[in-house]
Amino acid sequence: MLNYRRTNIALGAVLLLLAAWQGYGGGLPWWAFALPVLVYSWVVFYGVYFIQSGFFMPTTWRAPRPLRAVALSFDDGPSAEYTPQVLDILREQGVPAAFFCIGKNIAGNEALLTRIDREGHVIGNHSFSHSVWFDLYSSTKMLADVQAADRAVEAVTGKRPLFFRPPYGVINPMVRDAIGQSGHQVIGWSLRSYDTVLNDKHTLMTRLMRLLQPGSIVLLHDHGKKTLEVLPEFIRAVREQGYEFQRLDTLIESQAYA
């Protein structure tokens, strides 16, 4: 399996061979050295931005077995405006879900977080700050940020999350080192809805159903109107396809809390 360590070794070996050839009078052009570096850069880019790759560290992005079941997950809450409406739909439909909460959003929404927990949903860690600069933090600063989110959840629910979803789904060496110290399980997704950017309900629904597969972890967000519009229809359509909804920890056979 392609990973960060093996890719670095491969690049070093290729450049060493090219340098040796050049040293023996090979007369190689400049692009012979630039090409492997370019390929390396593309491979690392793939590893950073595609959480399913497991390029830097193991990630969980679907069920370990091809079950006729899926798990819903919602990022970026809690939102005082939209999360209660998402919870109402889930309760009416009898569907469990996972909410990857931003720590700074919990203040003022403690009752909402308590409701998420009370109604049987999983609460995961989505960092405290969700800063646009999070990917550039040092591993020490990342660790502090992640642990601050844990404390914010635990202060309200009495439970410390073990599931972590990195902001924007980005994995890099700093994330690897921080999560290696925190002991969280990195949770990705196999179905990214793009519900924050797709403005047409039909387009969003078509994408969701086209990409649905056994054991899918579905990425949605609980801070937008479009998700609310499509959610009841999506739940009905999934069930009509013969799928059941399972709680995330059940689907992936992992423990959600420490």
d(CA 114, CA 110): 6
Bigger pLDDT: 78 vs 6: 78
Mean pLDDT value of segment 11-27: 79
- Predicted pLDDT at 226: 93
Which domains can be identified in the chain, with CATH numbers?
Answer: 4-49 (no CATH), 69-251 (3.20.20.370)
- Predicted pLDDT at 113: 98
pLDDT of residue 1 exceeding 80, the answer is no
The pTM for the full model equals 0.92
Torsion of CA 45, 49, 55, 61, to 10 degrees: -160
Mean pLDDT value of segment 53-65: 95
Beta bridge partners of 99: 74, 123
Tell me the pLDDT band of 43, cut-offs 50, 70 and 90.
confident
- Predicted pLDDT at 148: 98
- Predicted pLDDT at 22: 79
Share of the chain above pLDDT 70, in %: 99
- Predicted pLDDT at 199: 87
d(CA 36, CA 38): 5
Q: What is the pLDDT of residues 148-169, one digit of tens each?
A: 999 999 999 999 999 999 999 9
